[in-house]
C-alpha cells in the first residue's frame, strides 16, 4: 500500500461492529462511514461539483465501462485526468467495469482472459481483461480503483458462483500485477453470491493480499434485499480491521445502517439521482412520489430539518409543480435533497457511533416492514 493512503479507525461502537474512521487519499480525506454519490459518466447526474460539495460529498464514483465507451480514457487523460476533467478536486473512485460488463452488455464470451462484449454505442467488439481495466483506470486517474471481477447473476448455482469467485481471485492477482500508479489504491472485491461459506472463503483469501481496501461486490444484483445484511455479516469478520470496507451498490437507509453495524465504511448507490429523475424523494427513510395529489398545495419544505438548498428554498408544492411539468430543474433540486439525505444519514450515524448511541438510534430503529420480494437495482437508468 502506498503511503498516499491511510485508514485510521478513530472509534468503535461497543454493541456492534460499527466503526468511525478517516480514509486519506491523495485528493483528500473521507470521514467514514460515508455514502458516495455515483458519477457514472464523469458527472453525478444533474448536479454540479459545487452542489455536490455543499451536499457533503467527499469521495465520488465514476465508471470505467462507461467512460471507456464514451468519451474514452484518452480524452480524460488528455484533460489531465478525471479530477480535472469533471472539476471534482476531491477523492474519486472508479469501478472496474466488471459489474457493468455483466449487467449491461450483450456478452459474447467470458473466458479466463477476460470478457468480450459488443459496444452498445457502435456495435464493435470490446475485449475487457483485468489488465485492460487497470490500464484504463490508471489513465482515468481516480484515487481508488477497483479490481476487475466476475460478478455472477442472481440466482446462480453454487457451482457457477464458486467458479466466478475463484476467477475473481485470479483476476485480482493479475490486476495487482498490472497496476502501475502508487498514487492510486487498488481495492479487491469479495464475490461469493448468497453462499456464506463462499463469501467467507473469498474474504479470507483476499485478506491475505494486504490490499489498501476491500469491497463486497455482487450484491444488489436482484437478490431479495433481506439477504444483503446476511452477506455482509458473514463477510466482514474475515476482512482486515485496519482497511476500509466498501459495500458496492448499496445506499438505501436501512441497508446502510445494518451494514455499518456489521463493519462497513463506504457505500455507493445511484438511488438518490435515479429516484429524483422519477420525481421521488427520500425523507426520513420514507420515499415520496411528488406527483401524488397531496403535495400539490403543500407549502412546507420536503423536510423542515434538512439543511439542503432545496429544503431551505422550495416547497413541496413547487417541487411537485416542476415534476408534473417535467421541468429539468426538478431533477436537480430533488437530486440535491436525496444526495444530502443519504450522505447526511451516514454523517448522523458517524456522530451516533462517536456519541455511543448508534445501536439504540439506528440498529433498533423501526425501518418499516421489509417486503421479502423487494430487490435493489444498482444500474442507473
Q: What distance, in Å, lies between the first and last C-alpha atoms of the chain?
A: 35
Sole binder of a second copy in the list 10, 70, 180, 294 (CB under 8 A): 70
CB atoms within 10 A of CB 307: 12
Cell reading at 125 = 467488439
**Residue 307 in contact with a second copy, rule: CB under 8 A:** no
From 134-142, 173-181, 322-330, 363-371, span contacting a second copy (CB under 8 A): 322-330
Residue 227 as a binder of a second copy (CB under 8 A): the answer is no
Q: CB nearer to a second copy: give 85 or 358.
A: 85
| Contact status: 321 vs a second copy (CB under 8 A) | yes
143 is annotated as an active-site residue: no
Judge contact between 212 and 2, C-beta under 8 A.
yes
Other CB atoms within a 10 A radius of the CB of residue 44 amount to 27
The phi, psi pair for 340, rounded to 5°, reads: -60, -40
**Nearest residue (CB) to a second copy, 50 versus 305:** 50
Check: CB of residue 238 under 8 Å from CB of residue 247: no
Q: To the nearest 10°, report the CA torsion of 71, 74, 77, 82.
A: 30
Q: Does 240 bind a second copy (CB under 8 A)?
A: no
Please give the torsion angle defined by the CA atoms of residues 30, 32, 37 and 38, in that order, rounded to the nearest 10 degrees.
80
By CB under 8 A, which span of 46-54, 180-188, 250-258, 344-352 interacts with a second copy?
46-54
Please tell me whether residue 315 binds a second copy under the rule CB under 8 A.
Answer: yes
> Does 328 engage in binding with a second copy (CB under 8 A)?
yes
Beta bridge partners of residue 138, listed in sequence order: none
Query: For residues 326 and 328, what is the distance between their CA atoms, to the nearest angstrom?
Result: 6
**Whose Cβ is closer to a second copy: residue 16's or residue 40's?**
40
Compute the Cα dihedral for 379, 255, 307, 282 and give only its sign. Answer: positive
Q: Which member of 28, 87, 291, 294 binds a second copy (CB under 8 A)? A: 87
Choice between 12 and 324, CB closer to a second copy:
324
> Cell numbers at residue 321, please?
409543480
Closest contact distance (angstroms) between CB of 7 and a second copy is 30
Q: Which of 5, 7, 23, 85 binds a second copy (CB under 8 A)?
A: 85
Three-class DSSP category at 338: helix
Angle at alpha carbon of residue 169, lines to 159 and 115, rounded to 5°: 80
Helices (H), 264-360: 271-277, 309-313, 316-324, 328-355, 358
Task: For the CB of residue 66, give the shortest distance to a second copy in the complex, in Å.
Answer: 8
**Binding flag, residue 309, a second copy (CB under 8 A):** yes
Residue 46 interacts with a second copy (CB under 8 A)?
Answer: yes
Q: How far is the CB of 154 from a second copy (least distance, A)?
A: 29
Q: Find the binder of a second copy among 61, 275, 333, 339 (CB under 8 A).
A: 333
Active-site option among 149, 265, 268, 303: 268
Judged by CB under 8 A, does residue 324 bind a second copy? yes
Question: Cis omega before residue 33 (within 30°)?
Answer: yes
Residue 111 is among the residues annotated as catalytic for this protein: no
Q: Is the peptide bond before 155 cis (omega within 30 degrees of 0)?
A: yes
Question: Given its phi and psi angles, is residue 129 left (phi above 0), alpha (psi -120 to 50 degrees) or beta?
Answer: beta
Candidate residues 16, 32, 63, 332; the one interacting with a second copy per rule CB under 8 A: 332
Q: Which stretch binds a second copy (CB under 8 A): 160-168, 178-186, 323-331, 350-358?
A: 323-331
Q: Active-site positions?
A: 95, 268
Contacting residues toward a second copy, per CB under 8 A: 41-50, 70-71, 75, 78-80, 85-87, 296-297, 299, 309, 313-315, 317-318, 320-322, 324-325, 327-329, 331-333
Amino acid at each position: 500500500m502506498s503511503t498516499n493512503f491511510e485508514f485510521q479507525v478513530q472509534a468503535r461502537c461497543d454493541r456492534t461492529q460499527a466503526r468511525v474512521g478517516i480514509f486519506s487519499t491523495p485528493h483528500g480525506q473521507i470521514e467514514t462511514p460515508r455514502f458516495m454519490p455515483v458519477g457514472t459518466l464523469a458527472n453525478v447526474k444533474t448536479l454540479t461539483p459545487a452542489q455536490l460539495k455543499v451536499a457533503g460529498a467527499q469521495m465520488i464514483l465514476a465508471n470505467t465501462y462507461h467512460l471507456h465507451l464514451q468519451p474514452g480514457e484518452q480524452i480524460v487523460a488528455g484533460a489531465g485526468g478525471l479530477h480535472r476533467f469533471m472539476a471534482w478536486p476531491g477523492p474519486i473512485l472508479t469501478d472496474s467495469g466488471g459489474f457493468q460488463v455483466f449487467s449491461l452488455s450483450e456478452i459474447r464470451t467470458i473466458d479466463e482472459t477476460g470478457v468480450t462484449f459488443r459496444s452498445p454505442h457502435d456495435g464493435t467488439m470490446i475485449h475487457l481483461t483485468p489488465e485492460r481495466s487497470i490500464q484504463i483506470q490508471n489513465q482515468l486517474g481516480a484515487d481508488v480503483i477497483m479490481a476487475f471481477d466476475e460478478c455472477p447473476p442472481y440466482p446462480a448455482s453454487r457451482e457457477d458462483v464458486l467458479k466466478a469467485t475463484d476467477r475473481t481471485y485470479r483476476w485480482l492477482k493479475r490486476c495487482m500485477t498490472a497496476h502501475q500508479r502508487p498514487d492510486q489504491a487498488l481495492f479487491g472485491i469479495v464475490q461469493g453470491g448468497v453462499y456464506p461459506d463462499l463469501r467467507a472463503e473469498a474474504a479470507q483469501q483476499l485478506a491475505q493480499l494486504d490490499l489498501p481496501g476491500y469491497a463486497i461486490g455482487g450484491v444488489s444484483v436482484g437478490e431479495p434485499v433481506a439477504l444483503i445484511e446476511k452477506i455482509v455479516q458473514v463477510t466482514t469478520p474475515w476482512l482486515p480491521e485496519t482497511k476500509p470496507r466498501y459495500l458496492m451498490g448499496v445506499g438505501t437507509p436501512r441497508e446502510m445502517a445494518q451494514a455499518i453495524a456489521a463493519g462497513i465504511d463506504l457505500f455507493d448507490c445511484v438511488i438518490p439521482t435515479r429516484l429524483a429523475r422519477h420525481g421521488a424523494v427520500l425523507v426520513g427513510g420514507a420515499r415520496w412520489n411528488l406527483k401524488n395529489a397531496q403535495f400539490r398545495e403543500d407549502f412546507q419544505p420536503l423536510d423542515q430539518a434538512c439543511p439542503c438548498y432545496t429544503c431551505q428554498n422550495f416547497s413541496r408544492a413547487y417541487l411537485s409543480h416542476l415534476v408534473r411539468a417535467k421541468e429539468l430543474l426538478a431533477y436537480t433540486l430533488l437530486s440535491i435533497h436525496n444526495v444530502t439525505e443519504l450522505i447526511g444519514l451516514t454523517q448522523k450515524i458517524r456522530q451516533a457511533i462517536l456519541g455511543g448511541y448508534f445501536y439504540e438510534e439506528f440498529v433498533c430503529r423501526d425501518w418499516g416492514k421489509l417486503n421479502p420480494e423487494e430487490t435493489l437495482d444498482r444500474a442507473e437508468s
